[in-house]
Amino acid sequence: MASLNFIISVYISNYRRRIKAVFLLILLFFLFCVARLSFIQFFRSGYLSGLAKRQHNFFVELEPRRGTIFDTNLKPLAINLAVDSVFANPNEIRDSDKEAIIRQVGPILNLDSAFLRDRLSRNKGFVWLARKISAPQSEAIKKLNLKGVGFLKETRRSYHNGYLASHLIGFAGLDNTGLDGIELWYDKYLKGEAGWAQLLRDARQKKLDLQEKMVSPRDGYDVVLTIDEVIQYIAERELDKAYKANHAKAASIIVMDPHTGAVLAFANRPTFDLNEYTKADLEQRRDRAITDLFEPGSVFKIVTASAALEENKVNEQDKFFCENGSYKFFSHVLHDHQSHGTLTFREVIEQSSNIGTSKVAQILGPSLLYRYIRLFGFGTKTGIDLPGETNGLTREPRFWSKISIVCVPMGQEVGVTTLQLANAISVIANGGQLMKPYMVKEVRDKEGEVIKKHSPQMIRKVISLDTAERVKKILVGVIENGTGKLAKVTGFSAAGKTGTAQKLEPNGTYSHSKFVASFIGFAPAEDPKIAIAVIVDQPHPYYFGGVVSAPVFKNVAADTLKYLRIQQSQQEQVPVNENQIAD
């Protein structure tokens, strides 16, 4: 009996110790939980709260609408269209379903399987699969009803005219940021400011149509160009004809209002489709009218003619012996395209005599000639509102050689751009003023209120009104009696100058097979409304400016003046033999 009592007492003692141990463990666990909860409450609450928000809140950037680019008559040239962008939530997609999605979506989006596999393997709640896809692609994917794949609305830049004015409009990238042309130069106005929205998600990470917070985007401003869509079409149509018919390497044309500097048309060849700009190479996308330098040839003679008359060094009837087409000056022999004896100063310019012009330049001297070259804007940027403009190339007289005084006047040893030539001929057309060319007339907000406005700006006075009128009459003679007969505009008077320049070979010598054909002019001569510069690079088999570029001027001027409803003058078209025209 005693042993039984002993066993019972031991059992009770052990039981009590176990109870105490369990109670102690429970107490310790409770104290640990209290301590842990206190730690979380006071030290980890911010982190965990943020984690919860990130799990249940979805931040989306709200893209602003990029501003529209209009022509001068408010016809849209560049607009934004609403399109779908497709994304995925890899965390919501089972591994077994990812390969199926890759097989189905890849062909629709033209995406590599490895690319999609990499995207879907990421430990993220949001990854882009493709942005700004086409409507057929979007519809095809939506029909698949894929779990974990969704769509967001974005906007894509659209250029409904495709090739028209491609070099001046430029293009915007996938993120609606301007990359070239007006799109780049005015990007800060066009782009706008992004907004954002905080969307709610449920416990399964599905997006709910509820917004907790939102900051609305500010849409971009609209830009109104000086370009007229109709004149742009006319200019591109005629330039394209000449470019193809003459098998040219390249070509450019600029149409300006000579009184204001407003550019009415601006084009280059080769060109490209703005909607497919990624498929175009650098040669197609280069804005040759403001970036490419070339020796201008005889169109540059307007500088010598203007300087000589302004400085009273010669008058229209002064006579110059043109050496019967061959003139030795130091070690250099200067040639005319055809033999001339004695010509008046007027005839020297009309017939584009290199020898006669060089003798006029010698009367002027290097310093005066260089001064007027700079006054006409050569050797410096015009300041046009486009990216990529170059200065051109002119050398100070102290760097001239002994023969520079006879080479520079006829457009050698200088480098110019198409824009500089258009601006220079406008000086003659507007009465002697060098105007700053510009592409944008105004910037507007969505209500049509003008934010920024461009007004005509004179850079400087180059020559007097009297001198401009005298040079104008000589340039009318170039078309009526001289090398520019193919530029004669039916029903309108016109003035202009032809140019044919030999290109330099890599070894520094002048080529006998590569030329730049040019024509600069304005119409109507008595009251100019438009000034035009036409440059065709390496045309063949014909290469004279009077044959290749003058007809482009004629056709563009005729159709543009009719479109502008300029009253015609009573003039008859004189039949011209192309074989008798040079320079």
Q: Which residues are catalytically annotated?
A: 298
Type of residue found at 365: G
In 10 A of CB 188, how many CB atoms? Answer: 10
How far, in Å, are 204, 208, 261, 376, 475 from residue 435 at the CA level?
66, 59, 5, 10, 20
Check: CB of residue 517 under 8 Å from CB of residue 551. no
Q: At what angle do helices 301-310 and 354-364 cross, to 10 degrees?
A: 40
Check: CB of residue 392 under 8 Å from CB of residue 417. yes
User: Residue 343, SS3?
Assistant: strand
Phi, psi of 257 (to 5 degrees): -85, 110
User: Residue 569, SS3?
Assistant: coil
Tokens of 538: 């390496």
Of 224, 293, 287, 278, residue with least CA distance to 254: 287
- Size (the chain), residues: 583
Check: CB of residue 62 under 8 Å from CB of residue 196. yes
Token pair 């029903």: residue:
491
Of 383, 435, 387, residue with least CA distance to 167: 387
Tokens of 8: 């019972």
CA-to-CA distance for 558 and 480, rounded, in angstroms?
16
User: Residue 213, SS3?
Assistant: strand
List b or e across 109-127, with b for residues whose CB sees 16 or more CB atoms inside 10 angstroms: beeeeeebeebbeeeebbe
Angle at CA of residue 527, ends 459 and 551, nearest 5°: 95
| DSSP 8-state class, residue 484 | T
Check: CB of residue 179 under 8 Å from CB of residue 172. yes
